[in-house]
């Protein structure tokens, strides 16, 4: 696969998507959005991929919508940008039944902050900053921000973040549950690779079913969710990896999960 605006490679079960317009802080133009969507499709369909890692090239993670493209005379209507660029990425990230990790190496602004927050696990460099910068240019949040933020941090914090458009540090983001772990800048890339490789060796079907359950829990009642747990535990219990996990425990050895 060739892409102009991302780097994409698969190694040891990890698909790495690197947003790659560093001179524009990896801001999203249409072509980069399509590159990411294609890469996510590939990750979804290819059983060799057992974990996805999204990060940015250069000093930033991603600065949101490319504002030069946004004001170009031939630019599409904003609704079309949102529907063709951002919404598909959010839907694909939530639909891939494999873990998707965001390794936020620098500033994550606007749509890109929310792209990170819709991933399964967010880790960040200690100098990374998160900004709901939409309001600073007279826009409203998109890319799932008004769905995920109140659910993750609560209504009032989500309101302050989206209405004030202030820079939030990685430590602050970790303290309110938006980021799982923060690493010294020089250690982020290695930590991200280690985490992704570890997850790529885990029971992929069970990870995928866990993600499906968590997705559903966001809109279910307790009784509905208990029914989902019964059903999907049944599916997990019939995987080869479950048999391997139990056998390895009883034989006092490390399990070798094949994602099946």
Judge contact between 134 and 165, C-beta under 8 A. yes
CB of 139 to ligand T3D, least distance (A): 5
Report, in Å, the least distance between residue 58 CB and ligand T3D.
10
Per-residue x/- marks for ligand T3D, 11-30, CB under 6 A? -------------xx-x---
Nearer to ligand T3D, 76 or 213 (CB): 76
Whether the CA torsion 123, 157, 112, 42 is positive or negative: it is: positive
Q: Does 187 bind ligand T3D (CB under 6 A)?
A: no
Rounded to a whole number of angstroms, the minimum distance from the CB of residue 218 to ligand T3D is 23
Closest CA to 102 of 127, 90, 119: 119
110 interacts with ligand T3D by CB under 6 A? yes
Pairing of strands 167-169, 129-131: antiparallel
Q: Are 35 and 105 in contact (CB under 8 A)?
A: no
Sequence-distant (6+) residues with CB within 8 A of 78 are: 70
Q: Kindly state the smallest distance separating residue 81's Cβ from ligand T3D, in Å.
A: 3
Looking at residues 124 to 183 of the shown chain, list those that interact with ligand T3D (rule: CB under 6 A).
131, 133-134, 137, 139, 142
By the 10 Å C-beta count (0-12 exposed, 13-18 middle, 19+ buried), 186 is classed as exposed
Applying CB under 6 A, does 105 fall inside the site for ligand T3D? Answer: no
The residue (of 54 and 207) whose beta carbon lies closer to ligand T3D is: 54
Residue closer to ligand T3D, measured from CB, 67 or 256: 67
What SS3 class is residue 161?
helix
Binder among 1, 9, 12, 78 for ligand T3D (CB under 6 A): 78
Least Cβ distance, residue 141 to ligand T3D (angstroms) = 8
Position among 13, 56, 64, 145 found at the interface with ligand T3D (CB under 6 A)? 64
Q: Per-residue DSSP letters for 134-151? A: GGGGT----TTHHHHHHH
**Residue 107 is a binding residue for ligand T3D (CB under 6 A):** yes
Give start and end residues of each alpha helix (H) in 46-127.
67-70, 78-81, 87-95, 111-117
By rule CB under 6 A, what count of residues binds ligand T3D?
A: 22
For 212, residues 6+ apart whose C-beta sits below 8 A from its C-beta are 97, 232
User: What is the C-alpha separation between 58 and 128, in angstroms, rounded?
Assistant: 12
| Residue 70 in the binding site for ligand T3D (CB under 6 A) | yes
| Binding stretches for ligand T3D (CB under 6 A) | 24-25, 27, 63-68, 70, 78, 81, 107, 109-111, 131, 133-134, 137, 139, 142
């Amino acid at each position: 696969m060739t892409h102009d605006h991302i780097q994409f490679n698969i190694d040891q079960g990890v698909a790495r998507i690197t947003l790659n317009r560093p001179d524009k802080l990896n801001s999203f133009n249409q072509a980069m959005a399509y590159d990411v969507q294609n890469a996510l499709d590939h990750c979804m369909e290819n059983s060799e991929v057992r974990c996805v890692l999204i990060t940015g090239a250069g000093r930033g993670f991603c600065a949101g919508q490319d504002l030069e493209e946004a004001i170009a005379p031939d630019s599409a209507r904003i609704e079309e940008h949102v529907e063709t660029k951002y919404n598909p990425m959010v839907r694909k990230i939530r639909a891939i039944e494999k873990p998707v990790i965001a390794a936020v190496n620098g500033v994550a602004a606007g749509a890109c902050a929310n792209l990170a927050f819709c991933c399964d696990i967010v880790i960040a460099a200690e100098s990374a900053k998160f900004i709901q910068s939409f309001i600073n240019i007279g826009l409203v949040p998109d890319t799932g921000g008004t769905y995920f933020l109140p659910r993750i941090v609560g209504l009032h914090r989500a309101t302050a973040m989206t209405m004030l458009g202030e820079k939030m540090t990685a430590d602050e983001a970790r303290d309110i549950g938006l980021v799982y772990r923060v690493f010294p800048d020089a250690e982020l890339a290695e930590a991200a690779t280690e985490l992704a490789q570890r997850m790529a060796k885990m029971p992929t079907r069970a990870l995928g079913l866990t993600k499906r359950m968590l997705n559903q829990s966001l809109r279910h009642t307790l009784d509905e969710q208990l029914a989902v747990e019964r059903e999907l535990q049944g599916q997990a219990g019939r995987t080869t990896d479950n048999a391997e996990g139990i056998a390895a425990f009883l034989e006092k050895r490390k399990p070798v999960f094949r994602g099946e």
